[in-house]
């Protein structure tokens, strides 16, 4: 039996609802993963700390506030500083096309727009984190 | 450096990794646990159990904060159920524990029950030992909100807090007999609700019936009211926790319970390994053959056991 994937789903930033994050969290659970859900208004520092304590394979960030270009790099840097380079980072939300290559360059594994189906998200997470 | 040594040196990433190995029953975990074992036995382990939504996580959050205020470090293990259909789990207890973020004196770990039905995961006891060895003064264990939590948590924790909330239907009925028996402290949480006083009285009455003969120095479970959201009643809960710890030490129960737990674990492992060894010796085909013969009424269970043991 392969090791069960552990994923942290977090909602950084100040915008107020986490419906999308919860839908994704449930989809990942239904795909057999252990999902640690942290809720609203997480700072990058809180996310990195939780990723470390929970020893996750991946982190999913749901960002609708438009603050992805400040929040995501801080999470990536924090993970590196904590020695968590191998944790895969996924971003869901509204990310303009021109920001996509920039974030990927910085180390984001995949970015999902508001229309992405949960099937695609689950498949991508599995592929990136190396589970058949 | 060995993982276990890193854990003893206070490396939190090593601690997190080791907990994963323990959860996965990885071989690396056995060696590490052996190295850590001499460093265990110092933490006070507190179980927090009760029906879903009674406020376990919220209370763990405020308890941990209060313990930190008394300069005690706190490890938290929060167990949520694994789906029996997919093997996945949604671990959401951290949502209520955000106040503890950024404190190096706190370490929180969410755990999926992974098929265990007793309210804890099979590996929860070992994870508690790792946190104990890592030096946390108190380890708070939140159980799954459903199932037969009582046996497992009572064996794992020194002090068991059972949480009730008012307005969950018939209070006394909601509080199953098993939960009553393991409660060292009963907490009626959400005491900001008007029915709380009635629930607390009902519990006291029920306890009075069961524990009417408690004049022999035995611990009488306390009934306390809290508002986990704002910390009301938590200092009193803290005092009760320390009284119970002192009672366990002075009465010798702390040692006695540990002896019972160790004996249980020892017997359990012996049984498991003896059976595995026996099967390895006689082989699966021989076992299948006995099964067939018993089904065919050519032999009976007891004869098979006798023959297999003597094989
Ligand atoms: N009014 C009131 N609400 C509370 C109190 N404590 C917790 N709650 C609320 O009760 C709900 C459930 O709290 P949790 O701490 O998640 O309960 P739990 O027992 O950990 O739940 P599970 O882990 O799902 O079994 C949340 O909405 C809390 O905000 C309290 O003292 N008063
Ligand atoms: Mg909870």
- Residue ranges of chain A with per-residue pLDDT less than 50: 1, 132
Q: Chain B contacts of A43, Cβ < 8 Å?
A: 101
Gyration radius of chain B's alpha carbons = 22
- Residue ranges of chain B with per-residue pLDDT less than 70: 146-150, 168-177, 209-216
For chain B, first and last CA: distance in Å? 46
Beta bridge partners of B48: B142, B161
SS3 A36: strand
Q: pLDDT of B205-219, one tens digit each?
A: 877 765 544 556 788
Half-sphere exposure of A34 (CA within 13 A, CB side): 24
pLDDT at B205: 80
Residue nearest to atom 14 of ligand 1 (CA): B55
Residue B192 near ligand 1, beta carbon < 6 Å:
yes
pLDDT at B168: 59
Query: Which structural domains are found in chain B, ordered by start?
Result: 1-37 (no CATH), 40-251 (3.40.50.300), 265-310 (no CATH)
ipTM of the complex: 0.95
> Residues in chain A whose beta carbon is closer than 8 A to a beta carbon of chain B?
3-4, 6, 25-26, 28-39, 42-43, 45-46, 49-50, 52-55, 82-84
| Residue B23: partners with Cβ closer than 8 Å, 6 or more residues away | B111, B114, B121, B123, B127
**Alpha-carbon torsion angle B231, B233, B237, B243, nearest 10:** 130
Residue B118: closest CA among B167, B173, B157, B168? B157
Going from the Cα of B119 to the center of ligand 1, the distance in angstroms, rounded, reads: 18
Q: Chain B contacts of A25, Cβ < 8 Å?
A: 90
| Nearest CA distance, B184 vs chain A (angstrom) | 30
Query: Which structural domains are found in chain A, ordered by start?
Result: 6-129 (3.40.50.280)
User: Contact, B180 vs B211, CB < 8 A?
Assistant: no
Going from the Cα of B55 to the center of ligand 2, the distance in angstroms, rounded, reads: 7
| CA distance linking residue B103 with residue B72, whole number of Å | 12
**Alpha-carbon torsion angle B40, B118, A10, A126, nearest 10:** 100
pLDDT at B299: 95
**Total Cβ atoms within 10 A of residue B308:** 15
Residue B115 near ligand 1, beta carbon < 6 Å:
no
Interface contacts A/B by beta carbons within 8 Å: 75
Beta bridge partners of B164: B188
pLDDT at B201: 86
What is the DSSP track for chain B?
Answer: --HHHHHHTT-HHHHHHHHHHHHTT-HHHHHHHHHHGGG-S-SEEEEEEESTTSSHHHHHHHHHHHHHHTT--EEEEEEEPBPTTTS-EEE-GGGGGGGGTT-TTEEEEEEE-TT--SSS-TTHHHHHHHHHHTT-SEEEEEPPSSS-HHHHHHHH-SEEEEEE-TTSSSHHHHS-HHHHHH-SEEEE--TTSTTHHHHHHHHHHHHHHHTTTGGGSPPPPEEEE-BTTTTBTHHHHHHHHHHHHHHHHHHTHHHHHHHHHHHHHHHHHHHHHHHHHHHHHH-HHHHHHHHHHHHTTSS-HHHHHHHHHH-
pLDDT at B212: 46
Query: For chain B, how many residues are written?
Result: 311
Testing the interface with A: which of B94, B108, B112, B139 to mutate, by most A Cβ within 10 A? B94
| DSSP character at residue A52 | H
| DSSP character at residue A41 | S
Largest alpha-carbon pair distance within chain A? 41
Q: Which residues have C-beta under 5 Å from ligand 2, the single-atom ion?
A: B 56-57, 93
């Amino acid at each position: 039996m392969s090791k069960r994937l552990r994923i942290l789903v977090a909602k950084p930033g100040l915008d107020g609802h986490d419906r999308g994050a919860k839908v994704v969290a449930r989809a990942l659970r239904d795909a057999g993963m252990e999902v640690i859900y942290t809720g609203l208004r997480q700072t990058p520092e809180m996310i990195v700390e939780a990723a470390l304590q929970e020893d996750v394979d991946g982190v999913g960030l749901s960002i609708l506030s438009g603050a992805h270009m400040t929040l995501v790099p801080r999470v990536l840097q924090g993970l590196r500083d904590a020695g968590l380079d191998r944790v895969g980072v996924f971003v869901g939300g509204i990310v303009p096309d021109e920001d996509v290559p920039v974030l990927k360059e910085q180390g984001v594994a995949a970015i999902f727009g508001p229309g992405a189906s949960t099937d695609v998200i689950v498949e991508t997470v599995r592929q990136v984190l190396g589970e058949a | 450096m060995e993982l276990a040594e890193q854990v003893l040196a206070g490396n939190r990433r090593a601690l997190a990794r080791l907990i994963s190995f323990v959860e996965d029953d990885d071989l690396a975990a056995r060696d590490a646990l052996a190295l850590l074992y001499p460093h265990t036995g110092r933490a006070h382990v507190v179980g927090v159990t009760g029906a879903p939504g009674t406020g376990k996580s919220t209370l763990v959050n405020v308890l941990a904060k209060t313990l930190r205020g008394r300069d005690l470090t706190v490890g938290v293990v929060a167990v949520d159920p694994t789906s029996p259909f997919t093997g996945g789990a949604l671990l959401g207890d951290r949502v209520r524990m955000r106040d503890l973020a950024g404190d190096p004196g706190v370490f929180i770990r969410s755990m999926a029950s992974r098929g265990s039905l007793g309210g804890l995961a099979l590996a929860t006891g070992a994870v508690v030992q790792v946190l104990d060895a890592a030096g946390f003064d108190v380890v708070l264990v939140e159980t799954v909100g459903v199932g037969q939590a009582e046996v497992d948590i009572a064996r794992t924790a020194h002090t068991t807090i059972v949480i009730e909330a008012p307005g969950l239907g018939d209070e006394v009925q909601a509080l199953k007999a098993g939960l009553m028996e393991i409660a060292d402290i009963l907490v009626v949480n959400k005491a900001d609700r008007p029915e709380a006083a009635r629930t607390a009285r009902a519990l006291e009455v029920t306890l009075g019936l069961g524990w009417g003969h408690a004049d022999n120095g035995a611990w009488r479970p306390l009934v306390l009211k809290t508002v986990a959201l704002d910390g009301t009643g938590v200092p009193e809960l803290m005092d009760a926790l320390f009284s119970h710890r002192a009672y366990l030490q002075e009465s010798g129960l702390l040692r006695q319970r540990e002896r019972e737990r160790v004996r249980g674990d020892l017997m359990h492992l012996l049984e498991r390994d003896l059976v595995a060894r026996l099967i390895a010796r006689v082989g699966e085909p021989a076992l299948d053959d006995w099964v067939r013969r018993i089904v065919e009424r050519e032999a009976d269970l007891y004869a098979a056991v006798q023959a297999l043991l003597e094989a």
